[in-house]
Amino acid sequence: MLKSKKILMAMVTACMLTPIMPTYLPVLGTNHVWAAEDGQASGIDYLVLVNKMHKLPADYEAKVPLVTAKNSMGREFQVERDTYAHFVQLREALLKQGIQIEMDSIYRSVARQQEIVKEFTEKYGEDYVKKYVAVPGYSEHHTGLAVDICLVVDGKVIDDNDEMIAQKDIFARIHPLLADYGFILRYPQGQENITGYSYEPWHFRYVGKDVAKEICRRGVTFEEYIVARKG
């Protein structure tokens, strides 16, 4: 997402400058087992392609198994079940290396996006909305499989786009771990002509471990992988 995200997030809630104990509180049915395998048994397409050209399939939102979880700053999110289980593992692995990532923006419904477009059109006009706000149905955040993170460095939350891009050393340590937990970096540097988005070191997409490792091995974008896979 563009960081109009900044503005959108400011509307929702700002990250608080509070350090930090992990307090993930999944809200789940009592029978749910937190087995964080690549089970992917929920019946959704974990390789769904949503970008500026490809709309979210109409029946997708009704099927996606969302869970509710909080980040360490107490903000609540909805996120696809397997995506969250793997995110928790990724976060823990990074904490062991002294790196703290937190959920910053995850699932956003098509309906919510429509409201945002309406609100922002009234406030800022159509030109602004066309430039900065995703068209409802065309944001990967509708899938529940996309995770925007913020960083916590020395107790300070870093969630501004430019400040995050400046954290090159930290992201250089985060990105190589993503595939082990089933995530890819969705908008890599220099690939905006393919992905439609400029570099977003914070936007991770869950695809499952096998596919994530294959995409990593080939060094391709998700778009290129999907085209090649369909042959």
* Residue 81 near Zn ion by CB under 5 A: no
Q: How close are the terminal C-alpha atoms of the chain, in Å?
A: 28
Query: In this chain, which stretch among 53-61, 73-81, 141-149, 151-159 interacts with Zn ion, using CB under 5 A?
Result: 141-149
The footprint of Zn ion on this chain (CB under 5 A) covers a number of residues equal to 3
Contact mark string toward Zn ion, 200..229, x via CB under 5 A: ---x--------------------------
* Residue 75 near Zn ion by CB under 5 A: no
Please say which residue, 28 or 117, places its beta carbon nearer to Zn ion.
117
Q: How far does Cα 35 stand from its chain's mean position?
A: 21
* Residue 1 near Zn ion by CB under 5 A: yes
In the complex, minimum distance from the CB of residue 231 to Zn ion, in angstroms, rounded to a whole number:
29
Residue from 80, 104, 148, 159 binding Zn ion (CB under 5 A): 148
Residues at the site binding Zn ion, with contacts judged by CB under 5 A = 1, 148, 203
